[in-house]
Structure 1
Amino acid sequence: MTSTTLQLSEPYGPAACLRAGEGAPLVLIHGVGMQSAAWGPQIEAFAQTHEVIALDMPGHGGSAPLPEGTELPDYVAWLHAVLQALDLGPVSLAGHSMGALIAGGYAVSHPENAARVALLNGVFRRSADARAAVEVRAAEIRAGSFDLETPLARWFGNSPADQAARAQVGEWLSGVNLAGYAAAYTAFARGDSTYADGFAGIRCPLLALTGDGDPNSTPAMAQAMADAAPQGRAVVIEGHRHMVNLTAPAAVNAALQDWLDTEGATS
C-alpha cells in the first residue's frame, strides 16, 4: 500500500490517498471524521483484483480543507478534480456516509465517469425531524462543540467486533481537523436531497447498503435509493450499525464483490 499526495489546482490544494493493487480502478471515499484507512478491510480484500484508491476527504487526513461555506456540490467538484488528476477513466466508486453522498452526487453529475456506484450507510431524503436534528448537530460542531461519545454510541453496539472498531474509530475522530470536520458535517447535514431527484438518471449498477441497526442511514433509505435507480439494489446487514464496513467486513465485501461483478447497462 502506498500513500500518495496529488497536487490539485486552486481552490483544492493537496489531496491524499492510499493506493494498492492493480487492475480496474476502485475508488473509496470515507465519511465525516474518518480517513482513508477506515477502508482497511476493503483495501486488503480488493487490492488482490483491483487498483484500489482510498481518498482522504477534504479537511481529513492529508487532504486540504475546502473553503468555508462549501456545500455538497463543492465536494462533488473536488472528487471530479481528483479523478481528472488520476486520469483513470471510468471508475467503480464506493462511498460511506458523507462519502456516499459525494459518490451518489458524482454518479448523477458525471455518469460517464462512473462505471458503478456503491453507497454504504448513506442518507437519502431525511424526514423533517431527522433533518432538524442533524442541522442542530452541525451548528454545534461549527460553534466548536466536539462530542466524541455520542456518535460512537450511535454507531456501535456491544459485540467484540463493534468494540474493537469503536476504539479505532475513536482515535480517528479524536485526531480530526475540527474546521474540516465542521465543514464536511455541515455539507452532510444539508445534502441528503441535493441529488436525490437525479438518481433516476444513474444508469450504472448501484448498490445501497446499510446495517439494520443504523438509525440515521436506515434500511428504508437504502431501499429508496435502490428503487430510484434503474440498476439499483439494496442490501441490509443484520445486527450491525453505521460502521458496517468495519464491524461486518466479510458480509460487506461479499456484497461489494457482487456489485463489482455486475455488468453495466448497454444503452
Structure 2
Amino acid sequence: MSQTLQRSKTPSGSAYVDRGSGGEVLVLIHGVGMRIEAWRPQIEQLSIRHRIIAVDLPGHGSSAPLMGKPDLSDFVTWFGAVIDELELGVVNVVGHSMGALIATGMAATAPERLHRIALLNGVYKRTIEARQAVEARANEIVTGAFDREAPLGRWFAPNETNSDAYRLVRELLQQVDAGGYAAAYRAFATGDTLYCDCWPAVASPALFLTGDGDPNSTPEMAKDMAKAARNGRAVVIKGHRHMVNLTAPEEVTAALANWLTWTA
C-alpha cells in the first residue's frame, strides 16, 4: 500500500488530514471500507489551491467508532461535530458512496453550513431489488463472516484488476475493522431514502458524479439528483465504475476543481 498519511485527531477521536492553506475549505468523506488514503490523488492536487480536510469514517482508519447501532443520522451528527471541533465554519464537502449519503444528510439538515456539495458515486432511491441486495450484504457483514474480496467485483472492471487503484482498495478492505465496517454498511444499506427528498430545497451548487459502469451508484441516479437539485449538474465518467476517483483521478479532480468555481 502507498505510504500512510500522517493524521491528527479531534478531541472526540476522529482522525483527519489537514493539507493546504489557501482558498475555501474542502472536506472529503470516503466510503465504507476505505480510509483517507483513498483520496490521495485529490488531496495532492486540490491542496495546491485549497485547504483540504480528509476524515476517516468512524471505526475506519484511526477514527473512534460510534457506539451502539448507529444509523445514517448518527453519522451525519458525527460529521457536524467534526466541522465544529475543527472550527471550519462553512465548507465545501465531497462525499464518496457512504460519504455521499452523509454529505446529503448535512445538506438536508444544515444547508447553511455548506458552500457547495459534491456526491461521488452516490446512491439515490434504490429499486426494491437493489435495496434487498444491499441489505442482504449488510446482514452478512454483521455476522463477521463476510467476503472482503466481494466488493472488488462490483467496484472495478475486469481490466482494472492489475491496477494500483485495485491493489490499494483491496488492501484497505483487508485492513478495515470488522465492527466499524459492519456499522457503516448497515447505515449505508438502510439510509438511502432518509434524506433523498432534500434536493429541491438545497441552493448550494451540487455536483453528482459517477462512472458509467457503476451498477449500484448509476448514471441515472446522478442525473435524477441533478434534476431534483436547484443548482445541480451531473457528470458521468465513461469507462469507469465505483472507485472512479482512483481509476480516473485526473478527470475527477478536474471536475471537482471546476465545481469549486460554481456560484449559487
**Aligned equivalents of 2:32, 2:112: Cα separation in 1:** 27
Question: Unpaired segments of 5 or more residues in structure 2?
Answer: none
Q: Which deviations, in whole Å up to 9, do the C-alpha atoms of 1:17-69 show, x marking residues without a partner?
A: 11110121100000000001110000000110011000000000111111121
Change in CA separation of 1:161 and 1:263 when aligned onto 2, cut-off 3 Å: farther
What do the CA deviations read for 1:132-159 (whole angstroms, capped 9, x no partner)?
0000000000011221222101111134
SS in 1 for 2:132: helix
Moved segments of 4+, more than 4 Å: none
SS in 2 for 1:136: helix
| Gap change, CA 1:161 and 1:145, over 3 Å in 2 | closer
RMSD: 1.2
- Deviation at residue 160 of structure 1 after TM alignment: 5.2
Whether the aligned pair in 1 keeps the contact of 2:160 and 2:166 (CA below 8 Å) is no
Alignment of 1:64-103 (within 5 A): 64-103=64-103
Equivalent residue runs for 1:2-17 within 5 Å: 2-8=6-12, 14-17=13-16
1:155 aligns with 2:151: no
Alignment of structure 1 residues 171-250 onto 2, 5 Å:
171-250=171-250
Contact 1:206 1:226 in 2 (8 A): yes
My pick for the range that moved more, 153-162 or 242-251, is 153-162
Q: Distance in 1 between matches of 2:110 and 2:100?
A: 15
Matched, 1:18 2:37: no
Q: Counterparts of 1:154 and 1:198 in 2: how far apart (Å)?
A: 28
- In 2, Cα distance between the equivalents of 1:41 and 1:227? 29
Equivalenced residue count is 259
Counterpart of 2:14 in 1: which secondary structure?
Answer: strand
Q: CA deviation at 1:167?
A: 0.7
In 1, the alpha carbon distance for the partners of 2:68 and 2:243 equals 28
Which has the larger displacement, 155-164 or 171-180?
155-164
TM-score (norm 2): 0.96
Gaps of 5+ in 1: 9-13
Q: Distance in 2 between matches of 1:140 and 1:101?
A: 21
Report how far residue 2 of structure 1 moved. 4.9
- Distance in 1, matches of 2:10 and 2:94, equals 20
